[in-house]
Structure 1
Amino acid sequence: MTSRERVTRILNHQEADRIAIDLGGRVASMHIEAYNRLKGYLGIREDHGLTWNKLWFQVEDFDERVLNEFDIDFRRVYLRGPSNGGVRFNPDGTITDEWGLTLKKITTSHGPLHEMIGHPLAEASLEDIESYSWPDPTDPARTKGLEEEVKNLYESTDHAIVAGAIGAGPFEVASWLRGSEQYYIDLLTNREFAVRLFEKVVDLYIEFYRVFLNKVGKHIQIIETSDDYGTQRGLLISPQLYKDVFKPQHKGLLNFIKSR
């Protein structure tokens, strides 16, 4: 049974010859420090350079040799970055991404990571949401070579192909743009702003997925998306608040993806 057959059977709730094995992306990955040690153990020296996953989540895009070593069933394709690269390296050593979020590299006991220090909509008004310089999902650079890549994976391998997650989730992005503390305050004292900001981010994500799936849709078996509404200790917001404010837009995004 091939990987693609195995995963397809599992997704259809049918028995397969074994459990499918995943490694990579954001939710089935490992910290970059552990990954580098694993590569060293396997004798792999190359580095993929700075990627979105490495910048934001401290996880790596896995080398094909690592995936083959552990007989991984899945391979991922990602929407590319914008034509300007999507990352600005500032003179003070900080980094600003295409959403306008600024990060500073710090070192912790668990290794290096990028701490968010700049929230571009921290003092914004409702009108500022509409006039803000948002990322352009239709930038041609985002899909350059993508159709050829996914077609090659589909025709030359038997792996299950995943359309990888487009960055962080809409709730995460909305709260980061505003600043998490202020965004939670907005949910109680400035609900209209909080809702509109989330709606705007979801609208952009729908366009990102439209562009992405127009190129890869007929060759993939899985679409990966995520968001983060909790911590190791519990929920960030109440279930009722999620149902009242976020679920309608979240459902709209997922319904759009399923319709493709």
Structure 2
Amino acid sequence: MKARERVLRALKREKVDRVPLDFWAIPGIQERLCRELSLDEEGLLRYFGVDFRTVEPRYIGPSLEKKNGMQKNVFGVWEKEGFLGYGEAPLEGACTPEDIDAYPFPDPEWFDVTHLREQCEKYKDFALRTAPAWGTWWASFQLSQALRGVERFFVDLLENEALVNRLLDRITEFTLRVNEKVFEATRGYLDIYFLGDDYGSQRGLLISVELWRKYFKPRIKLLCEQAKSYGLWVMFHSCGAIAELIPELSEAGVDIINPLQTRAKGMDFESLSRFKDLVAFHGGIDTQELLPFGSEEEVRQEVRKAISALASSGGAYILASSQELMPDVPVKNVVAMYDEARKIKF
């Protein structure tokens, strides 16, 4: 069975030969895996049996400032290896919606999509999804914190509704316009739109369901509706204990939940299995303790447990690590994860 067929059949809850597999890692460990296994990046994905490939627009806008291993993204926020919020919050002093409008938001024309069709054609046998690049994938919660400052933004949610709505709208409008460029350029090839925001801690949600429903659900729904108008599945990333939001995300149009941080409260496989009629799951093989410190046999046991809980009895599951693989994960455990998953036939 070809990779793309495997993924799409699994998402439709149809019979497949094995669980679909995905891969995500920070560059350091990906380079180490390639080196130790004597493979290039594409060879590594094929060695592990990864069923996905990513496509992303090319940034062609103004030069982005860099210093001390950090870089400003297109919104003017310092980030490091994709993590937001290093340094000052450029909108911390804003008081009104007009102050938000005065801020220099990025131009969607800074993103070139002319190469995407060729990229899609190259990987047409794989499930194709958008990549989280250049600040265009956040649904607005994390980015707003980085722009306003974490404490200031949390106060805003309760005390400055007009400012919050203008900020969230400006971010969402930009994202919709970039998405339109990408979706038009990849029409007929792209399968999955990937976006996200981190709403959970290890113990629970960072804001109440009521506040999330008020501010974020309508905008996520807009992004999902846009993707579905192009026939795409929607995969949503949120770290932490987000079980309370899974039905809400499903109502908004989300089809796949990532990354399944299974050590967070209520996010173990057994607890998540009650939602498998609502959404598909992606991820779940623990990067906090298991992959960095567990034995190969413990990794294999967890793979079997995940597949049994989430891919059986009508569930849809894509196996991957619960976060990006980090430098503390030994190669042998990564190999064990993929090897065990490929052994389990349906």
TM-score, with length taken from structure 1: 0.79
Structure 2 Cα separation of the partners of residues 233 and 30 of structure 1: 25
Structure 1 Cα separation of the partners of residues 208 and 84 of structure 2: 28
8 Å CA contact 2:128–2:192 kept in 1: the answer is yes
TM-superposed deviation, 1:94: 4.9
Provide the residue aligned with 1:147 in structure 2: 117
What amino acid does structure 2 have at the position aligned with 1:253? L
Residue correspondence of structure 1 range 86-125 to structure 2 within 5 A? 87-90=64-67, 94-103=70-79, 116-125=86-95
Per-residue Cα deviation, 1:194-251 (whole angstroms, up to 9, x for no partner)? 1221111111111111111010121122221212211223211000111122211221
Provide the residue aligned with 1:69 in structure 2: 47
Among residues 206, 214, 218, which one is paired with 1:248 in the alignment? Answer: 218
Structure 2 Cα separation of the partners of residues 209 and 70 of structure 1: 30
**Structure 2: 5+ residue runs without aligned partners?**
231-346
Among residues 211, 215, 218, which one is paired with 2:188 in the alignment? Answer: 218
**Structure 1: 5+ residue runs without aligned partners?**
24-28, 47-62, 106-112
Give the stretch that moved more between structures: 35-44 or 229-238: 35-44
8 Å CA contact 2:78–2:84 kept in 1: the answer is no
Asked if 1:163 corresponds to 2:133, the answer is no
8 Å CA contact 1:195–1:245 kept in 2: the answer is yes
Residue correspondence of structure 1 range 39-50 to structure 2 within 5 A? 39-44=34-39
Count of residues in Structure 1 that have an aligned counterpart in Structure 2: 225
- After superposition, the Cα gap between the structure-2 partners of 1:167 and 1:81, relative to the gap in structure 1 and judged at 3 Å, is farther
Structure 2 Cα separation of the partners of residues 207 and 151 of structure 1: 23
TM-superposed deviation, 1:9: 0.9
8 Å CA contact 2:114–2:185 kept in 1: the answer is no
TM-superposed deviation, 1:187: 0.9
- After superposition, the Cα gap between the structure-2 partners of 1:181 and 1:213, relative to the gap in structure 1 and judged at 3 Å, is same
What amino acid does structure 2 have at the position aligned with 1:145? H
Provide the residue aligned with 1:34 in structure 2: 29
8 Å CA contact 2:137–2:194 kept in 1: the answer is no
Structure 1 Cα separation of the partners of residues 181 and 117 of structure 2: 11
TM-superposed deviation, 1:142: 2.2
- After superposition, the Cα gap between the structure-2 partners of 1:116 and 1:83, relative to the gap in structure 1 and judged at 3 Å, is same
Asked if 1:202 corresponds to 2:172, the answer is yes
What amino acid does structure 2 have at the position aligned with 1:164? A
Structure 1 Cα separation of the partners of residues 94 and 186 of structure 2: 36
8 Å CA contact 1:122–1:179 kept in 2: the answer is yes
TM-superposed deviation, 1:115: 5.8
What amino acid does structure 2 have at the position aligned with 1:18? R
RMSD (CA atoms) = 2.2
Per-residue Cα deviation, 1:132-189 (whole angstroms, up to 9, x for no partner)? 11111123x52131222112322xxx21211223443321112211111110011112
Structure 2 Cα separation of the partners of residues 103 and 159 of structure 1: 31
TM-superposed deviation, 1:93: 6.5
Provide the residue aligned with 1:6 in structure 2: 6
Structure 1 Cα separation of the partners of residues 218 and 72 of structure 2: 31
Structure 1 Cα separation of the partners of residues 191 and 114 of structure 2: 21
Among residues 109, 116, 123, which one is paired with 1:138 in the alignment? Answer: 109
What amino acid does structure 2 have at the position aligned with 1:136? D
What amino acid does structure 1 have at the position aligned with 2:168? F
TM-superposed deviation, 1:103: 4.1
What amino acid does structure 2 have at the position aligned with 1:13? R
Asked if 1:258 corresponds to 2:228, the answer is yes
What amino acid does structure 1 have at the position aligned with 2:31? N
TM-score, with length taken from structure 2: 0.60
Among residues 124, 130, 149, which one is paired with 1:179 in the alignment? Answer: 149
8 Å CA contact 2:120–2:189 kept in 1: the answer is yes
Sequence identity (%): 31
Provide the residue aligned with 1:128 in structure 2: 99
- After superposition, the Cα gap between the structure-2 partners of 1:171 and 1:191, relative to the gap in structure 1 and judged at 3 Å, is same
- After superposition, the Cα gap between the structure-2 partners of 1:115 and 1:38, relative to the gap in structure 1 and judged at 3 Å, is farther
- After superposition, the Cα gap between the structure-2 partners of 1:218 and 1:40, relative to the gap in structure 1 and judged at 3 Å, is same
